[in-house]
Amino acid sequence: MNHAKTYHYEALDTEHGPVIVEGPLPSKELNKYTFNEGLTAFRPAEKQFDAIKGIADFDEGRIIIARNNEEIIGYVTYLHPDPLERWSEGNMEDLIELGAIEVIPKFRGYRIGSRLLKVSMMDDYMENYIIISTEYYWHWDLKGTGLNIWDYRKVMEKMMAAGGLTPSPTDDPEIISHPANCLMVKVGQLVPETSVEQFDKLRFLTRHQYRQTGR
**Domains of the chain: total:** 1
- Alpha-carbon torsion, ordered 108, 39, 9, 6, to 10 deg: -140
Nearest partner of 66 among 7, 127, 16, 113, judged by Cα: 113
Q: How far apart are CA 96 and CA 94, in angstroms?
A: 6
pLDDT confidence of residue 122: 98
* 57 part of a folded domain: yes
* 74 part of a folded domain: yes
pLDDT digits (tens, 9 = 90+) for 126-135: 999 999 999 9
pLDDT digits (tens, 9 = 90+) for 131-160: 999 999 988 888 888 999 999 999 999 999
Q: How far apart are CA 26 and CA 74, in angstroms?
A: 16
* 3 part of a folded domain: no
* 99 part of a folded domain: yes
Identify the DSSP state of 177: G
pLDDT confidence of residue 91: 92
* 113 part of a folded domain: yes
pLDDT digits (tens, 9 = 90+) for 182-207: 999 999 999 999 999 999 999 998 77
> What mean pLDDT, rounded, does the chain reach?
94
- 3-state DSSP assignment of residue 97: strand
* 153 part of a folded domain: yes
Question: Is residue 164 within 8 Å of 184, Cβ to Cβ?
Answer: no
pLDDT digits (tens, 9 = 90+) for 6-28: 999 999 999 999 999 999 999 99
Read out DSSP for 99-149? Answer: EEEEE-GGGTTS-HHHHHHHHHTTSGGGGGSEEEEEE-GGGS-HHHH---H
Nearest partner of 166 among 153, 149, 147, judged by Cα: 153
pLDDT digits (tens, 9 = 90+) for 62-77: 999 999 999 999 999 9
pLDDT confidence of residue 141: 84
Which residue range forms the structural domain that includes residue 33?
8-213
* 201 part of a folded domain: yes
Backbone angles phi, psi at 177, to 5 degrees: -70, -15
pLDDT digits (tens, 9 = 90+) for 105-126: 999 889 999 999 999 999 999 9
Question: Is residue 129 within 8 Å of 188, Cβ to Cβ?
Answer: yes
Specify the CATH number for the domain of residue 137: 3.40.630.30
pLDDT confidence of residue 212: 53
> Is the model's pTM score more than 0.75?
yes
